[in-house]
Amino acid sequence: MSEIEIPDIVIRRLPLYARELGLLAGEGRDFISSQELGHRLGVTPAQIRKDLSYFGRFGKRGRGYEVLGLRERLRSILGLNGRVKEMVLVGVGQLGRAVLGYGGFRLGGFEVVRVFDSDPNQIGRKVDNHQVDDVATLPEYLQKTRVSMGIVAVPAEAAPSVIDTLVDGGVRAILSYAPVTMSVPHGVRLRQIDPVMELESMAYYLEEPFDGYIEDHQADVTTN
């Protein structure tokens, strides 16, 4: 229970559990079983119990899990119970603006604290209460402030250099919307959101035959 490496795939499910527990709390639920939670999430009860067992024993036998208590434990495990996580945002095009305007980050305990762009037309402007700074000043900003998370919302061509700058500046977790593959040093997490790739892979299941074949691919619900 103590010195095994916890699989990333397990870590990635924790936010899902935490989110659903938040909803349950909102519905006034005090306790929930792995059975019912799994049913709501499309996950097996055994999966949930096994995942949680990596971190400790949070349930009460015969009763299930205390909804708010477990949610707090999960957020604590994820490191989300301290102060708000500060992020820099690079790129204030349409997508960057949507990121800034999206309330979900704030609610989740994340906050964009500084915004950068390379477009002279944007630099100096105010977008959603944030002064847009020249991306050229990003390195010095990172040096001063040690922000550990970043969001990249720049065009593909610009992304590699932006990501390098973030990494060099000590940013350890990067969420990129740019469709480019890059490798980053050990210890840095880079995750990409690429809606086009999602659509492309889903297209496979739309029974269009490929070339001459007519095959029947059918598969199950995937909630990512």
Question: Between 140 and 200, whose beta carbon lies closer to DNA?
Answer: 200
Question: Between 33 and 148, whose beta carbon lies closer to DNA?
Answer: 33
Q: Which amino acid is at 7?
A: P
What does the alpha-carbon distance between residue 134 and residue 116 come to, in Å, rounded to a whole number? Answer: 6
What does the alpha-carbon distance between residue 219 and residue 3 come to, in Å, rounded to a whole number? Answer: 37
Question: Between 63 and 125, whose beta carbon lies closer to DNA?
Answer: 63
Is 200 near a copy of itself (CB under 8 A)? yes
Of residues 33-62, those binding DNA (CB under 7 A): 33-35, 43-47, 49-50, 52-53, 57-62
Question: Between 62 and 196, whose beta carbon lies closer to a copy of itself?
Answer: 196
Q: Which stretch binds a copy of itself (CB under 8 A): 24-32, 58-66, 97-105, 132-140?
A: 97-105
Owner of token pair 């297209």: 203
* Contact pick of 76, 137, 143, 161 for a copy of itself (by CB under 8 A): 76
Is 124 near a copy of itself (CB under 8 A)? no
What does the alpha-carbon distance between residue 208 and residue 205 come to, in Å, rounded to a whole number? Answer: 8
Query: 208 contacts which partner out of DNA, a copy of itself, none, CB within 5 to 8 A by kind?
Result: a copy of itself
Q: Are 89 and 100 in contact (CB under 8 A)?
A: yes
Strands (E), 31-181: 31-32, 59-60, 64-66, 85-90, 110-117, 126-127, 130-134, 149-152, 173-176
Of residues 178-207, those binding DNA (CB under 7 A): none
Residue 64, by phi and psi: left (phi above 0), alpha (psi -120 to 50) or beta?
Answer: left
Of residues 81-100, those binding DNA (CB under 7 A): none
What does the alpha-carbon distance between residue 159 and residue 90 come to, in Å, rounded to a whole number? Answer: 9
Is 125 near DNA (CB under 7 A)? no
> Which residues lie near DNA (CB under 7 A)?
1, 7-10, 33-35, 43-47, 49-50, 52-53, 57-65
